[in-house]
């Protein structure tokens, strides 16, 4: 099996860690070779807080994926979330020495490199620099400046920033689990790749990924990422509340939530009751579904309202920034009964549940195209796309040698796309090596 076209996505979540091994089939869809899941014990609200347990969980997930697929893996693309993530807008420009030459990839890199030098708060590091639109000599709203003439190139950037220590801890866990870090991606961006269509990104859409420990938000408009945020609570606070409100243990609360829970309390009759076995010789507890739904409702409303504040911060009320495609819900929390209706009711925006099945090969198991795996599939896609951008090593030696210029042109077009990230990855790897 050719290992060059295989990639691994590793979603380190608060409730579960998922490793996915896959490659692209001849139709460009993703064929999953193996998937491994492990309960995540060392992560709280998206941030690693117990290194040893996280390493064990990662190893368990990776080993399971390897066992299923029979493929040995060495590196993974990892998602990052957590309450320490923030994003900011930044504009920057470069003046080109020769405006008689057309703008090429190296100019964009120079500009992007300049943004990477921004001075951050102590203990913070830039994770992504995402160009939004460019201006060439004052001409605005240019999406692709390559090939244009101009002396001054400027751009607005969406800069995603995270805590150095949290990023290092993730790197440390990956390393100790015997893997290399092929790259780090913001989780809402990965989920967005997996569940949003290009039309939605053009029209304007907010992706809300409700995980166990965090709720991630990514907003797109005109095909460009406009706003990202990580809200530091998710499905786990709902379970906590059920546990407290009904005085039952966490496992039972989680089961109640997934089996009988609903985000809309109106539909339960007063006489619907669930009986829960008591702890060791105690009497069973009787819980009305109406109460259960009331508890869930209160918490979910809070999560959605927090997220809606972020959508408003982006400027959804302005005509030019209106999100025509509304909201897409994904992540484990999107499986809660009636959550779509509740979100529509609170925000007044069209809502659908996002399933990551569009990019998967046709014969993929149903259970894998559930919203729970959106992030892992998105990370896997990112890994495969990064690999495609790498120059292919040609095997056939008897083929006529292409001319030097074509080769150079090719290299120009292939390499730079990844090089900024590569440079960052290398810097990051050195940083990890020195840290130990």
What is the reported pTM? 0.85
The DSSP 8-state label assigned to residue 316 in this structure reads: T
Q: Would the CA dihedral through 75, 77, 83, 89 be positive or negative?
A: positive
- Length of the chain equals 436
Sheet holding 215-221, edge to edge: 224-231, 215-221, 205-210, 327-330, 351-353
What residue has token string 């609200």? 45
Query: Domain 198-357: which CATH class?
Result: alpha beta
Q: Tens place of pLDDT for every residue, the chain, 436 residues? A: 556 789 999 999 999 999 999 999 888 899 999 999 999 999 998 899 999 999 999 999 999 999 999 998 899 999 998 889 989 999 999 999 988 999 999 999 999 999 999 988 899 999 999 999 999 999 998 999 999 999 999 999 999 999 999 999 999 999 999 999 999 999 999 999 999 999 999 999 999 999 999 999 999 999 999 999 999 999 999 999 999 999 899 999 999 999 999 999 887 777 889 998 888 888 888 999 999 999 999 999 999 999 999 999 998 888 889 999 999 999 999 999 999 999 999 999 999 999 998 888 888 888 888 999 999 999 999 999 988 877 655 444 444 444 444 444 444 444 444 455 555 666 666 666 665 5
* Nearest residue to 150 via CA among 96, 107, 110, 112: 96
Q: Which residues have a Cβ under 8 Å from the Cβ of 410 and sit 6 or more positions away?
A: 391, 402
Q: Which residues have a Cβ under 8 Å from the Cβ of 136 and sit 6 or more positions away?
A: 103, 142, 145, 148, 149, 150, 152, 153
Q: What angle do CA 316, 317, 322 make, to 5 degrees?
A: 50
* Domain extent listing, the chain: 198-357
CA distances, 7 to each of 259, 380, 389 (Å): 34, 6, 13
């Amino acid at each position: 099996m050719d290992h060059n076209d295989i990639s691994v996505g590793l979603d380190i979540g608060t409730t579960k860690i998922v490793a996915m091994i896959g490659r692209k089939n001849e139709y460009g869809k993703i064929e999953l070779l193996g998937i491994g899941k492990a309960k995540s014990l060392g992560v709280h609200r998206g941030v690693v807080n117990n290194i040893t347990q996280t390493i064990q969980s990662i190893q368990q997930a990776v080993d399971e994926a390897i066992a299923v697929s029979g493929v040995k893996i060495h590196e993974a693309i990892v998602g990052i979330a957590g309450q320490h993530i923030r994003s900011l807008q930044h504009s920057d420009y470069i003046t080109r020495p020769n405006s008689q030459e057309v703008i090429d990839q190296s100019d964009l890199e120079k500009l992007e490199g300049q943004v990477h030098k921004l001075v951050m708060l102590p203990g913070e590091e830039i994770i992504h620099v995402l160009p939004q639109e460019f201006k060439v000599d004052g001409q605005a709203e240019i999406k692709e400046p390559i090939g244009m003439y101009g002396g001054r190139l400027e751009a607005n950037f969406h800069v995603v920033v995270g805590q150095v220590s949290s990023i290092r801890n993730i790197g440390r866990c990956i390393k100790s689990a015997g893997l290399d870090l092929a790259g780090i991606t913001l989780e809402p961006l990965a989920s967005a790749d997996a569940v949003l269509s290009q039309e939605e990104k053009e029209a304007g859409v907010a992706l809300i990924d409700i995980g166990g420990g965090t709720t991630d938000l990514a907003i797109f408009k005109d095909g460009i990422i406009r706003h990202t945020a990580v809200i530091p609570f998710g499905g786990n606070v709902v379970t906590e509340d059920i546990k407290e409100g009904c005085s039952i243990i966490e496992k039972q609360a989680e089961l109640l939530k997934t089996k009988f829970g609903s985000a809309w309390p109106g539909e339960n009759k007063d006489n619907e009751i669930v009986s829960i076995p008591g702890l060791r010789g105690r009497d069973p507890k009787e819980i009305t579904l109406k109460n259960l739904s009331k508890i869930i409702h209160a918490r979910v409303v809070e999560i959605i309202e927090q997220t809606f504040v972020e959508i408003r911060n982006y400027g959804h009320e302005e005509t030019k920034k209106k999100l025509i495609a509304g909201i897409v819900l994904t992540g484990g929390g999107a499986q809660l009964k009636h959550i779509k209706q509740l979100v529509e009711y609170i925000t007044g925006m069209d809502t659908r549940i996002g399933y990551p099945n569009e990019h998967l090969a046709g014969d993929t198991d149903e259970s894998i195209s559930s919203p729970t795996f959106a992030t892992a599939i998105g990370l896997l896609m990112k890994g495969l796309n990064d690999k495609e951008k790498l120059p292919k090593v040609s095997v056939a030696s008897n083929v006529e040698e292409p001319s030097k210029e074509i080769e150079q042109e090719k290299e120009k077009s292939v390499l730079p796309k990844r090089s900024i990230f590569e440079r960052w990855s290398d810097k990051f790897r050195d940083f990890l090596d020195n840290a130990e």
